[in-house]
């Protein structure tokens, strides 16, 4: 990766409020064209980090860089309640020197064109959220920062938003997506950064974070089954599970061979499945010491 | 040199764009029209209605106590428009403009619209200057509408009373517009600075009104007893605005005793003091918005 591939980054970024460290030496990198998931429980420091990245608040120490132009939706949409959605976007377009046609384009993109003339204060939470995303899309910025964009959306709206993010990435735009909805991040993000208590715990691809795939086996007699498993996956590749079974670090397509070897060794196979740890499981493992709950 | 020119022209372009944006949203804001309507209603009531009722019925109202019928009629004719136009500005007009200025800046924080604008890469200084320019445009429009409104009312009275039509001199109209602009602009921008300082509308409106309508009057009262307080009151915005208007219309010299109209300091000094407050309010607003976190 070279510097040209980086569209946003922070280095030892720190924000202190009084004696509380909200963000603690966070170093992260967002690469061109990827969907980067910024994960963390409520109050972990996600929004504060993003605000510093966008220059809304000053870091106590460290540095933050974001390419320009950037579009952003940070901590909920902020618009004039007495103006329509369309007029709000037109006001924003005036500030940035865009033509009204750009407003129509982004309204269509978030499926709000039909309700564009309704006043913002009459919008549902989901519509407000979509208007905020529309504002972030204006001018086709290279980097789009979306802070909890699916807040307030119904399941269909959430699916639409996921499709939109994927579509943006396919179009070459980079999306920095902050969320506490882990299934959503697992589904659409290329890389993730996990933050808790202001510290970046891990930054990697989703696959790396989930630790790859494995095969779960339940067979008897257990000793004979273990001997076969050790022969196939090695000492490091076998983990005993609480239910008397084993987890083998092998690809799912190795399952037929594992079954054949077990049967040939006179072992009864009760269950054999490809097992993947979900991002949610990994996330809870990483943040389990902090006794925090994710909002649903 | 060329880099400086490029930066300057880019700043000017951004400010003009933000001015257009702010004017677009101010035009559609009911608060703006309510402010204008309230100001015109107050101008009508205290400038013409009570005086006209007093003139036609012969009953003295508090606005016309000690004046003859002829003097009352003179106040209602077009030649008196510059004075009537200015009289309500130090207190009522100023208070209304300050409320509007505080709402323009403060609601940007309350509604999160500053955050939306700044997070899309719009330069903070340019956005603030754009809002100030839009507010200034509204002040100018208010002055022109009020002048036309006052002239229209006075002409109506002139015709209905069978008086010869005699218009005020261009010089007196220009003088009234200039003084009125300084006073209303100062209060509007002080309200804007307060809204920025408080980062919300409620506190800034409350503090501003208490200051303009109560605190300065109390300080002027205390100033009669303590010389250092008296010296202090001479540099306060209300004193400067009242004295500027008082230097044109006369402060109580004709017996009307319009609230807020003073003769504490000379007109030129008052105008300079008001202008300094205008500049200081803009500078304070820009510095605050540029330096502070947007949360």
In a domain, A286, yes or no: no
Mean pLDDT taken over chain B = 91
Residues A223 and A152 in one domain: no
Is residue A17 within 8 angstroms of chain B, CB to CB?
Answer: no
Q: Which of A166-170, B5-9, B92-96 has the highest mean pLDDT?
A: B92-96
Taking the C-alpha atoms of residue B233 and residue A138, their distance in angstroms, rounded to an integer, is 51
Which residue in chain B is spatially nearest to A91 when comparing CA positions?
B21
d(CA A140, CA A142): 7
Residue A71 has its nearest CB partner, among B120, B293, B294, at B120
Query: Mean pLDDT across the stretch B184-207?
Result: 95
Q: Can you give the pLDDT at residue A292?
A: 43
B127: pLDDT strictly greater than 70:
yes
The pLDDT score that the predictor gives to residue A296 is 36
Q: Which of A209, A232, A267 is the last residue of a domain?
A: A209
Q: pLDDT tens for residues B278-291? A: 999 999 999 999 99
Lowest mean pLDDT among A129-143, B64-78, B80-94: B64-78
CATH number (domain holding residue A79): 3.40.50.300
Nearest CA in chain B to A147: B119
Which of A147-151, B138-142, B168-172, B194-198 has the lowest average pLDDT? A147-151
Domain co-membership, A193 together with A250: no
* Residue of chain B with shortest Cα separation from A90: B21
Average pLDDT over residues B236-265: 82
Q: Band the pLDDT of A134: cuts 50, 70, 90.
A: very high
| The total number of structural domains that make up chain A | 2
A2-54 confidence digits (pLDDT tens):
566 899 999 999 999 999 999 999 999 999 999 999 998 888 999 999 999 99
The reply to whether A293 falls in a domain is no
Sign of the CA dihedral running A23, A25, A26, A29: positive
CB contact under 8 A, A51 and B30: no
Q: Which of A67-81, A123-137, B273-287 has the highest mean pLDDT?
A: B273-287
Is there a contact between A54 and B119 if contact means CB atoms under 8 Å apart?
yes
- pLDDT above 90: residue A290: no
Q: Which ranges constitute the DSSP H helices of chain B?
A: 2-27, 30-44, 50-57, 69-76, 81-87, 94-110, 113-119, 124-160, 170-198, 201-210, 216-223, 227-233, 237-249, 267-291
A74 touching B, CB under 8 A? Answer: yes
Question: Could you tell me how many CB contacts below 8 A there are between chain A and chain B?
Answer: 87
Do residues A86 and A224 both lie within one domain?
A: no
Per residue in A225-241, pLDDT tens?
A: 999 999 998 888 888 88
Whether pLDDT at A291 is above 80 = no
Percent of chain A exceeding pLDDT 90 equals 60
A282 falls within a domain = no
Which of B120, B126, B134, B290 should we substitute to test contact with A (largest number of A Cβ atoms within 10 Å)?
B120
Q: In whole angstroms, how large is the CA radius of gyration of chain B?
A: 21
Sign of CA dihedral A94, A98, A101, A106: negative
Q: Do A146 and A271 share a domain, yes or no?
A: no
Same domain, A163 and A246: no
Domain that holds residue A102: 3-209
Cα separation, B144 vs B151, in Å, equals 11
Residue A288 belongs to some domain of the structure: no
Per CB-CB distance under 8 Å, the chain A contacts of B114 are: 78
Rounded to 10 degrees, the C-alpha dihedral B127/A115/A76/A201 comes to -120
Same-domain status, A186 and A236: no
Q: Scanning every residue of chain B, which has its alpha carbon at the shortest distance from the alpha carbon of A58?
A: B293
Residues 88-117 of chain B with CB under 8 A from chain A are: 111-117
A73 & A202 share domain = yes
How far does A16 lie from chain B, in Å, by closest CA? 13
Task: Check residue B258 and give its pLDDT.
Answer: 78
Q: CA separation (Å) from B241 to A154, A217, B217, B261?
A: 56, 87, 13, 8
pLDDT at A1: 53
Q: What is the mean pLDDT of residues A64-83?
A: 94
Q: Where are the alpha helices (DSSP H) in A110-154?
A: 125-137
Distance of residue A109 Cα from the nearest chain B Cα, in angstroms: 18
pLDDT score for A159: 87
Q: What is the mean pLDDT of chain A?
A: 89
Do A169 and A51 sit in the same domain of this protein?
yes
Confidence category of residue B253, pLDDT binned at 50, 70, 90: very low
Lowest mean pLDDT among A125-134, B153-162, B258-267, B273-282: B258-267
* Residues of A (97-116) whose Cβ lies below 8 Å from B: 97
Q: Which of A13-27, A165-179, B145-159, B183-197 has the lowest average pLDDT?
A: A165-179
CB-CB under 8 Å, B29 with A51: no
Residues A193, A72, single domain; the answer is yes
Query: Which of B9, B17, B21, B121 to mutate to probe the A interface, most A CBs <10 Å?
Result: B121
pLDDT of residue A295: 39
Tell me the pLDDT tens digit for each residue of A248-281: 888 878 889 999 999 999 999 999 987 777 777 7
In a domain, A28, yes or no: yes
Structural domain contains residue A83: yes
ipTM: 0.89
Specify whether A136 is located in the same domain as A46.
yes
CATH number at A227 reads 3.30.70
A69 touches chain B (CB under 8 A): yes
Q: Nearest by CB to B25, which of A55, A91, A97?
A: A91
Note whether A92 contacts B121, CB cutoff 8 Å.
no
Among B17, B30, B116, the residue with its CB nearest the CB of A94 is: B17
């Amino acid at each position: 990766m070279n510097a040209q591939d980086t569209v946003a980054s922070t280095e030892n970024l720190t924000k202190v409020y009084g004696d509380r460290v909200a963000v603690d030496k966070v170093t992260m990198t967002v690469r061109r064209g990827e969907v980067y998931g910024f994960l963390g429980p409520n109050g972990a420091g996600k929004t504060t980090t993003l605000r510093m990245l966008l220059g809304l608040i000053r870091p106590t120490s460290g540095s933050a860089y974001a390419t320009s132009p950037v579009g952003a939706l940070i901590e909920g949409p902020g618009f004039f309640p007495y103006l329509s959605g369309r007029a709000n976007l037109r006001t924003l377009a005036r500030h940035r020197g865009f033509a009204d046609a750009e407003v129509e384009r982004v309204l269509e993109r978030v499926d709000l064109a039909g309700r564009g003339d309704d006043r913002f204060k009459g919008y549902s939470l989901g519509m407000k959220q979509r208007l905020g995303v529309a504002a972030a899309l204006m001018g086709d910025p290279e980097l789009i920062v979306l802070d909890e964009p699916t807040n307030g959306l119904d399941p269909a709206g959430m699916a639409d938003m996921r499709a939109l993010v994927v579509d943006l990435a396919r179009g070459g735009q980079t999306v920095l997506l902050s969320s506490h909805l882990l299934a959503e991040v697992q589904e659409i993000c290329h890389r993730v950064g996990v933050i808790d208590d202001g510290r970046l715990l891990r930054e990697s691809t989703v696959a790396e974070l989930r630790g790859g795939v494995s095969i779960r086996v339940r067979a008897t007699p257990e000793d004979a089954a273990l001997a076969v498993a050790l022969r196939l996956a090695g000492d490091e590749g076998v983990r005993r599970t609480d239910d008397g079974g084993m987890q083998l670090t092998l690809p799912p397509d190795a399952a037929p061979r594992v079954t054949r070897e077990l049967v040939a060794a006179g072992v009864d196979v009760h269950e054999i499945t490809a097992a993947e740890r979900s991002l949610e499981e990994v996330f809870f493992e990483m943040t389990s010491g902090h006794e925090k709950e994710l909002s649903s | 040199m060329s880099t400086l020119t490029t930066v300057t022209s880019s700043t000017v372009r951004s400010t003009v764009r933000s001015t257009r944006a702010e004017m677009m949203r101010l035009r559609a804001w009911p608060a703006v029209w309510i402010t204008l309507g309230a100001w015109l209603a107050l101008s009508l009531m205290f400038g013409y209605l009570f005086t006209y009722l007093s003139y036609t019925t012969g009953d003295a109202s508090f606005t016309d106590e000690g004046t003859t019928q002829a003097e009352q009629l003179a106040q209602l004719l077009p030649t008196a428009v510059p004075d009537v136009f200015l009289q309500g500005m130090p207190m009522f007009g100023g208070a209304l403009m300050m409320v509007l200025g505080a709402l323009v800046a403060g609601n940007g924080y309350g509604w999160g619209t500053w955050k939306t604008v700044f997070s899309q890469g719009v330069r903070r200084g340019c956005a603030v200057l754009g809002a100030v320019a839009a507010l200034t445009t509204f002040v100018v429009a208010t002055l022109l509408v009020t002048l036309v409104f006052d002239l229209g009312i006075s002409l109506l009275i002139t015709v209905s009373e069978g008086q010869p039509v005699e218009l005020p001199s261009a010089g007196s109209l220009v003088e009234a517009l200039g003084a009125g602009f300084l006073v209303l602009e100062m209060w509007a921008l002080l309200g804007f600075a307060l809204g920025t300082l408080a980062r919300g509308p409620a506190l800034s409106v409350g503090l501003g009104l208490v200051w303009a309508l109560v605190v300065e009057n109390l300080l002027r009262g205390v100033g009669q007893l303590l010389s250092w307080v008296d010296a202090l009151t001479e540099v306060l915005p209300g004193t400067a605005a009242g004295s500027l208007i008082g230097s044109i219309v006369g402060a109580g010299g004709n017996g009307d005793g319009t609230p807020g109209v003073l003769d504490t300091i000379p007109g030129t000094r008052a105008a300079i003091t008001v202008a300094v407050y205008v500049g200081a309010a803009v500078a304070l607003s820009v510095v605050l918005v540029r330096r502070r976190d947007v949360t």
